[in-house]
Structure 1
Amino acid sequence: MLSAVETRSVSPVFVGRTTELSTLQDALARATAGEPQALLVGGEAGVGKSRLIEEFAATACREGAVVAVGGCVEIGADGLPFAPFSSALRALRRELPAELAAAADGQEEELSRLLPELGEAPTGRHDEEGMARLFELTARLLERVAAERTVVIALEDLHWADASTRHLLSYLFRTLHTGRLVVLATYRSDDIHRRHPLRPLLAELDRLRTVRRIELARLNREEVARQIAGILAQEPDPAQVDDIFERSDGNAFFVEELAVAAHEGCCTGLTDSLRDLLLVRVEALPESAQRVARIVAEGGSTVEYRLLAAVARLAEDDLIEALRAAVGANLLTTAPGGDGYRFRHSLVREAVSDDLLPGERSRLNRRYAEALEADPTLVPADERVMRLASYWYHAHDPAKALPAVLDASTTARRRHAYAEQLGLLERAMELWDSAPEDVRVTLRPADYTEGYPPCGCDPRTTPLRYLDLLAEAAVAGRLCGERERALKITKRALQLLEDDPDPLRAAWFWTQRGRLVQALARGDGWRELGIAQDLVRGLPPSEVHAEVLTGAANWSMLHEPGPDALVAAERAVEYARMVGAREIELNARVTLGGLVVDSGDHEAGLAQTREAMDQALAEGVVHVAGRAYVNLPSELEAVGRSKEAVALLREGIDYTRKYGQLDAEAWIWGNLSDSLYALGDWEEAATAAATALRRGQSAQPRGMGALHLARVALSRGDAAEAHRQLDAARAHFGSHDPVPQQRLPLARIAAGIAAAEGRVLDLRTEVIEALEGGVPLGTHRYGWPLLLAAATAEADARLLPAAQPGREDFLERLLGAVKSLTTDAPIWLAYEEWARAELARAQGTATAELWSPVVTAFEHLERPYDLARVRHRLAEALLTPAPGRASAAEDARDRATELLRLAHAVAEHLGARPLAEATTRLAQRARLSLSHPPARTDTDPVTALGLTTRERDVLHLVSAGRTNRQIAEELFISPKTASVHVSNILAKLGVSGRGEAAAVAHRLGLFRVAPQGRP
């Protein structure tokens, strides 16, 4: 009703800011072209940030963009979780309802944490990825909405932002890659002191090349003159301009205030104090308007009209008259949407609020709280609980504040605003002793907590305990990354439990402490898990017991897989079933399936893991399903089934991305890189590894991504890049918690780099240290490549004088490790034969007869790079003259030529420079050509392929699915001779396996009739 009141002190002329506006318009043009833009606009209070955004928003709207503005909300001294994003999304929903609904389709429940209008937020246990999941879904929502139309999201007053808002903004700035989207945020730079929570975020964003930062300077004298002219609607006196410019120092807001004061003839009454300057026009208002201004100042950034009326307790006509005076003096302005009032500038609000007496502030907060309790509809539903908690807390009424703060903490948790939840819980702990006993006994865990720890008490009837608050706060601290605070909370809880023993609660806190110790790189967490196990030992089955056992099984699977880990996993599943803890049961079953695979029972373990994953998917247990999408393909890769792993991993990427599971997705990308490397798709493997680095929120999956990049670089002969990625992987993994799946691959890469640089002694040191840590059951997939790399390096360096000291002892140690390492899958049986052949080469005793079965073994596997390497070795052995002969036999030379051609072609295709150079050197020494001879013109396809009569017969039987032994029986030759013929056929056909050879024969129609007497 007052929106038409003239605001004379605001200049109708937009002054200066040409460069800044041009930068914003350039960002708009880039976004319209499909390149998302991120900008930060900083400047001191009053310098004109909001006016710049208004002008840019008007320009963007004229060009067809949709502009959604949201501001950080300050309630007393408290921020409102995700307030600017909620406001902006609400505005976006008003402008593009159909587009936003389509973009949110299927994820309304999760996104309702930011925009309650979309639905009801889901309940259930919270996990580490809850906030990341919400952030990812928000980013995807914005990208979809901005797919066809340019969207500008403007977030104002970032200096008031809550921690969750800061984290979400950081995430968006780092991850938005598509969409016609501009995201910009403003902040007050003079407020950002050394300990301000926004400071680290600004430093982080400064390092991002995709974020542009605009700093608004003060106006110069010419711009000040133009601003004054716009305000006064006439050219100002030069002396007056000089005076205002000197006193305002070019601050646009101060220019406005001083110009109006001078125009009204009260310039001489102003002091040089900023506070006095800001209050002087307030004090010139009628008393009723001053009173309303003081009420609005304490109510928050914006105060709704009905709430203001309830607190002011004025007759409606008197209230309207007071508001008219305040708006007419340009002190207050109507809020966006016209439903409330706010100060035109936050500096004035702060000055008015600071001028309140302590008792006056408490009284106003109490009246706000009482009015809101009497009529909850006075404020938007998604703000009500938070604002009530803030009002009661600042009213200094513990009896009222404690339950209100606890209500607010549960709301923050539901929104995944864990940092705010932690702060509110700490506030509740502060109020606990001050609140009357009769109030505390009425509080129930079911109303305010997630039930941590689940100790069997009925949360609906048992009174809330201080330990319950500590448990909730410990989890909130862990989930929001405030691990130091969470660790201190667990320490406090365990101290209290020493005086009032409760084994289940203590075990739960020790479990939490173990996770925090691991996350903070203070240890591996086993000591804490051990204490927890001791505490629950002998107690009846419980959810805590099942959770402790699951934690122990998970730890053992990574650190010491074996029978003890298997028993722990089986007991965890059993206990979880007994107490009906379904999520814990499914999680334990994923662990159990992996351990069964590691024990050697591959099919049973894979089936168990698949069943647990299917049930987690069906029941919507997202975090367990995400973990299964990581573990099951990893186990498939562990037994050499890479193609199956890749298909499942791609499915897992879609699933984890849909549900915003960033770390699970990063692990999946790392595993995908592993499997693609094995299958010979190195370009995609490198891309997948880089994606794991980019998507991972935690250090571990990022470390795995760097490790896979190091492996690709090393295989391609780029030792410097491999070294750089190895250092990055080590930095991510840290040294506090070594596990075999990290320790052994790190040693393998380090050994490979040392070999490439000719540092044989350093290689031995790396391998010996790794082997001293052991190769536990189930980690053979990491042990065999390390042993092979060591054996290969020793064989390559066997004639170097510098490699002789200690060489025999090291070879003996390698041979002992080869003999002791468990081998139970075809891929690792092949690796065992390969390692033994390399050790024989290191001793100078390798022959073609030793290498031929290694090649045969790899011909049945989907490992083109490994096959190329062993073909190169077989060719080398074939070209080595037999004793008493000057050169290799002609048929051996022919076969070696084909083997080298195949190996060289694979090396060239993969970019494996060391292997390509090695095959070239060997061919040159043997005077062989790596280029294929001209194609034959024979009409007979078999003759055109260069096959001999005997090879034709062998190919006929291979096409019919015969094994080498069956071929030997039918053709009356030895199995070894049959193997040689098969290898020659594969080389001539240019294929890597028997199945491909059969496919070529079928495609060319070589054999119309099956061998006689066979089906």
Structure 2
Amino acid sequence: MTSRAVSPVFVGREVELEALREAFDQARKQAMAAVLLGGEAGVGKTRLIGRFVEQAGQADAHVLVGGCVELSAEGLAYAPFTAALRQLVRETSAAEVAALLPEGAGRDLARLLPEFGEPSGDGETETARARLFELILMLLERLAERRPVVLVIEDIHWADRSSRDLIAFLSRNLRTSPVLMVMTYRSDELHRTHPLRPVLAELGRVDGVIRVELPRFTQDEVAAQMAGILGVTPELARVDTVFERSGGIPLFVEALLDSGDDCSVPDSLHDLILGSIERLPEETQRVLRTAAAGGVRVGHALLAAVSVLSDTELEDALRPAIAANVLQVADGGAYAFRHALIREAVHDELLPGEHARMHARYAEEIERDRSLVPPGRAVIEIAHHWYSARNDLWALMSAWEAAGEAARSFAYTEQIQLLERVLTLWDKVPDAAERIHVDHVTILERASEAAHVSGDMDRALKFVRAALHELDENTAPERVAELLVRRANVKSQKGKPGSLDDLRHAERLVPLPTEARVNVLTRLGTVLMAADERVEGAAVTHEALRIARQMGDECQEADLLINLALGHSMAGDMETTFTLNERALAIGKRLDAPRIVLRALANNVDALDNLGRSEEAVALAVEGEKLARRYGRYRHQGVFIANNRAEALASLGRWDEAIQVVEGAVTMGSAPRNRWHLLRVHAEIAIARGEGDLAREFLTEVGAFTPQRDEWAQERTNNARLLLAWHLMRGEPLNALEAAVSTLADPPPSSKAMLGWRLLALIRLVCDAAEPVDAGRAGALRARTDELAAVMGGNGPVSEAFRLVYHGDFDAAAQAWQRMGRPYVRAEALLQAAVVAATSGDREGAAARLREAHPLALALRATPLVTRIETLARRVGAPLCEAPVRQAAPAAQTATPAALTRRELEVLRLVAAGRSNRDIAAELFISAKTVSVHVSNILPKLGVSTRAEAAAAAHRLSLLS
């Protein structure tokens, strides 16, 4: 009988293999595909992946493999991607890989692999990690242009935060390339708070991502596995015993057969695995314990150095372990435990003193010769081993060094973990500051910066507060000022008030014309402009510009020109805005500064849309998004440009395209404010189409329903406008009136075309709708808006068209909108013009306008507008050529005590708005007596006895939508 530790026969798993093959076929059709393969430890995930990879290779796939390791939890960032990149470099060369990317991009990859040369000196921490993600995405796309790519990432339950974020990013964005991602994880390790859980939940919602759970073997499959291992068909009784003892887990089957006594019941899995180890020679067991302290995989030279054995002695000691398949010989002169569970069981056998001694030996040997571990891993390996050795001094020093390395790799979350370790050990090392040459506040400052750029605003705020608590602004004004700027940025990102107060405080701390003052004034100017505090914003920006020019800092100068452009934009002077942005753009191109180029370009997309040149805006945005991808900045600046493109598409009535842009950009996981901008575009379209539930969801997220005032004028004004439109869509003119009054209690709106005049134009319509119900409050609101309109600035065709709407010249507004190619606002203006004509008795004029507006609204699927047009058309007796389009209402909304006629629904809507019979008669162009008859018919149909009860029933039954 021939016995093998592992079956040479691949057993079962046909269903799971077929799922992998189908996913690969889907990927080859250039559709997003990813597989999350879960299963218990020892259930055979690696064996299954090996089989699939073999088949994919035969189908001409380019297979890249990377695995997560336990060290990832301690700061070893991007381990699986570094491994895959290293494999790619081995297969080709670093030069060939770099040639697939934009010029100079290889320097960013040098942060993962030294083969790419010296890392770039780009200090833009806020966008650096996003660029790295873009480069990895681009690299996979370029590789897939040659042949399909299969990227295998094993053991993602050990993945570091940066790797998890990158996995999620790739899963969302590898949509049109033949790339299949296959990720494995231990499902039995995912406790309730495991950090992988939310990632799996998020990926589960991405189209094209499937989850496959690998089950235990059936009894027949255990029998087949045993036959492969033993070389003969096993006896049925023995199969029963092994199946029962192993529970169908292949690794346990192997251990039971290897033990030779599959009838005994081990106390635990640990004992079962150790049974085969304990039969090995004592020297072999000692070396295995030494190897286990080094991890699942350890190099020959490193193991020899730590074990203090010669090559011959080490090889002699390891041979029995290799023969027993406890260890396997891996690439690169390394040894790997056959399964991580085996390594864990052996490591657990280390005695306390032995544990500390072994890890200290690893730290010392790697420190002595860092080439003993793969490139890029020495620093974190040393930190891990000193921490495991419980040596506080060296654990602190090595964690500080590793935190710096993590920052250079854009692994900010891992940097935070290591800095927190330094903070934890600080009081245990009396001379900590002298040892690492920085004070305690510096650790907090670095941690706050890392948390801020990684998007963890709560932790950033915690670290900033702690640092400010330790500093005295009289002795360290510049440090305090920098922290106050960071706190202001965090508050702004969280949509919390107080950022201006922090920035003004910071400005007072740095009165001299230094770089520190320029940095504070630059941010203060930006926030003041965004808050529509233009005079103060312009003053501080001009001062900063003067200092920057004296310092010769052209990059800062360009930033400040863009800030000035923002101020002119808020003032409604879009031509000057465009000119200033173009000047900044020219500087950015000359300096080859991608961030400046993209920032100026993005702002000019917005300027063009506000100038009524929306087609040009879309074209410029497409160019900008291409540049953002080429620069590796799409996730941050590219998303901002995409938002401006969506706004321009919405202006042009290309709503489905706008939604597609929004949905694609939202998946990029961008900063909260960028996400809110995008959702507002979608919310606007949802309201215009009468998609109430969807609109409510978006408005809730962007904070439109909350009373808290946003310091940024654009967000504040857009939220207010969307809230008014929401109430009008729902037939709630009094609620819209109240919201409009509350909006104007804040500082007056900006003169920017798409902000101030657009808001006033909508408030005009709110007053028109609310006047029959509450003429007094509507009149007061009109008086207030008239005051604002009298001093409102703004130039250009868009401002002028909204101004025409506000002043009631709807026909002229409709013509202006037609010239700009904006169908929705044109149709709205035509409807209002038709109302004016109908009220004055010009039924033919009203009919002509309605017939022009109707197809525009139909094409947009703007159901509420279509309904209003058709309602007025019936009132004036104007037939419309097109058949009406209706949204399908849920069954629950159509269940009424008795069917109401169309006219009765119109009357009921006005009754619910609180109108009298006389008001309803005037609105519907019928007599008050006819209204009374309709009301008399409505009450019994609804099963109520009063007008108030009818209104309540109408809302309850959703008859007014």
Task: Bin the TM-score by the shorter chain.
Answer: 0.7 to 0.9
Residue pairs, 1:189-228, within 5 angstroms: 189-228=187-226
Aligned to 1:761: 734
- Note the alpha carbon deviations across 1:616-663, whole angstroms, 9 max, x for none: 243243334333233232233334443443332222211223323323
* Partner in structure 2 of residue 469 of structure 1: 443
Q: How far apart are the structure 2 equivalents of 1:344 and 1:851? A: 78
Which of 598, 615, 629 is the equivalent residue of 1:657?
A: 629
Matches within 5 A, 1:481-880: 481-498=455-472, 501-536=475-510, 538=511, 540-579=512-551, 583-599=555-571, 602-658=574-630, 659-716=632-689, 718=691, 721-730=694-703, 735=708, 737-779=710-752, 781-795=754-768, 800=772, 802-804=773-775, 806-837=777-808, 854=813, 861-871=820-830
Name the stretch that deviates more: 544-553 or 105-114.
105-114
Query: Which of 138, 143, 146 is 1:145 aligned to?
Result: 143
Which residue of 306, 312, 329 maps to 1:334?
Answer: 329
Partner of residue 366, structure 1? 360
Deviation at 1:403, TM superposition (A): 4.3
Alignment partner of 1:127 is 2:114:
no
Taking the TM superposition and a 5 Å limit, the aligned residue runs for 1:919-938 are none
Which of 164, 171, 174 aligns to 2:172? It is 174
Residue-by-residue CA offset, 1:918-943 (whole Å, 9 max, x unaligned): 666767777778779xxxxxxxxxxx
Say if 1:598 and 1:778, in contact at 8 Å, map to a contact too. yes
| Separation (CA, whole Å) in 2 of partners of 1:143 and 1:393 | 40
Structure 1 residues 827 and 433: alpha-carbon distance in aligned structure 2, compared to 1, 3 A threshold: same
| Range with greater deviation from structure 2 (285-294 or 899-908) | 899-908
How far, CA to CA, are the matches of 1:683 and 1:160 in structure 2? 41
More displaced, 577-586 or 736-745? 577-586
Please give the per-residue CA displacement for 1:676-698, whole angstroms capped at 9, x wherever unaligned.
33334334333333334333522
Say whether the 8 Å CA contact 2:676–2:702 is kept in structure 1: yes
1:33 Cα deviation (Å)? 2.6
Question: Structure 1 427/758 Cα, relative in aligned 2: closer, same or farther at 3 Å?
Answer: closer
1:980 — aligned with what?
none
- Hey, what's the Cα distance between the residues in 1 that align with 2:765 and 2:72? 69
How far off is 1:82 after superposition? 0.8
SS at match of 2:703: helix
Q: SS of the residue aligned with 2:63?
A: strand
In the alignment, residue 799 of structure 2 is paired with which amino acid? W
Give, as a single letter, the amino acid of the residue that structure 2 aligns with 1:699. P
Counterpart-to-counterpart distance in 2, 1:867 and 1:499 = 57
Contact 1:550/1:569 (CA < 8 Å) preserved in 2?
yes
Unaligned runs of 5+ in 1: 1-5, 444-462, 838-849, 933-1015
Deviations 1:960-991 (A, max 9, x none): xxxxxxxxxxxxxxxxxxxxxxxxxxxxxxxx
Q: Distance in 2 between matches of 1:673 and 1:479?
A: 26
Change (3 A) 1:809 1:365: same
Q: Is residue 2:277 matched to residue 1:304?
A: no
- Deviation string 1:494-527 (CA, Å, 9 cap, x unpaired) is 1221499311111111222222233345544233
Separation (CA, whole Å) in 1 of partners of 2:72 and 2:283: 22
Q: Distance in 1 between matches of 2:755 and 2:122?
A: 37
Q: Would the aligned equivalents of 1:309 and 1:319 in 2 still touch at CA under 8 Å? A: yes
Q: CA deviation at 1:815?
A: 2.6
What is the CA-CA distance between 1:768 and the residue it aligns to? 0.9
Distance in 1 between the 2:288 and 2:555 partners? Answer: 53
Match 1:86 to one of 82, 89, 97 = 82
The residue type paired with residue 59 of structure 1 is Q
Amino acid at match of 1:279: L
> Aligned partners of 1:656, 1:225: CA distance in 2, in Å?
57
Write out per-residue CA displacement over residues 556-608 of structure 1, whole angstroms, 9 at most, x where no aligned residue. Answer: 12223320111122223234444565544433331122113434654444322
**Please, what TM-score do these two structures have when normalized by structure 1?**
0.80
Q: Residues of 1 paired with 2:391 and 2:126: CA distance?
A: 34
For 1:808 and 1:78, how far apart are their aligned partners in 2? 65
| Secondary structure of 1:303's aligned partner | strand
Deviation per CA, 1:427-464, whole angstroms, max 9, x where unpaired?
23344455574x85475xxxxxxxxxxxxxxxxxxx53
Q: Secondary structure at the match of 1:122?
A: coil
> Normalised by the size of structure 2, how large is the TM-score?
0.84
Q: Take 1:867 and 1:77, find their aligned partners in 2: how far apart are those partners?
A: 57
RMSD value over aligned CA atoms? 3.3
Partner of 1:108: 106
Question: Relative to structure 2, which stretch is displaced further, 239-248 or 392-401?
Answer: 392-401
State the alpha-carbon separation in 2 of the partners of residues 552 and 733 from structure 1: 26
Aligned pairs (5 A) from 1:227-306: 227-262=225-260, 271-306=266-301
Q: Is the 8 A contact 1:82 1:164 kept in 2?
A: yes
Q: Residue in 2 aligned with 1:319? A: 314
Q: Offset of 1:554 from its aligned partner?
A: 1.6
- The 8 Å contact of residues 493 and 672 in structure 2, kept in 1 or not, is answered as no
Q: State the secondary structure of the residue aligned to 1:258.
A: helix
Letter in 2 for 1:652: G
1:913 shift after superposition: 5.1
Larger Rg: 1
Q: What is the letter of the counterpart of residue 655 of structure 1?
A: L
Distance, in Å, in 2 between the alignment partners of 1:76 and 1:483 is: 23
Pick from 15, 18, 23: which aligns with 1:22?
18
CA distance in 1: counterparts of 2:639 and 2:832, whole angstroms: 37
Cα distance in 1 for residues equivalent to 2:316 and 2:495: 63
Give the aligned residue type for 1:607: T
Separation in structure 2 between the aligned mates of residue 616 and residue 103 of structure 1, nearest angstrom: 25
Contact in 2 for aligned 1:127/1:623 (Cα 8 Å): no
State the 1:732 CA deviation: 11
Equivalent residue letter for 1:404: S
What is the SS of the residue equivalent to 2:377?
A: helix
Residue 954 of structure 1 is matched in structure 2 by: none
Q: Where does residue 12 of structure 1 map in the other structure?
A: 8
How high is the sequence identity, in percent, across the aligned residues?
36
**Who is 2:153 aligned against?**
155
Looking at structure 1, the residues matched to 207 and 452 of structure 2 have their Cα atoms a distance apart, in angstroms, of 30
Q: Which residue is equivalent to 1:382?
A: 376
How far apart, CA to CA, are the structure 1 residues paired with 2:720 and 2:528? Answer: 21
Cα deviation digits, residues 226-253 of structure 1 (max 9, x gap): 2222111112233332332222222211
Identify which of structures 1 and 2 has the higher relative contact order when contacts are C-alpha pairs closer than 8 Å and 6+ apart: 2
The number of aligned residues is: 878
The alpha-carbon distance between structure 1 residues 681 and 16, as it changes in their structure 2 partners (threshold 3 A), is closer
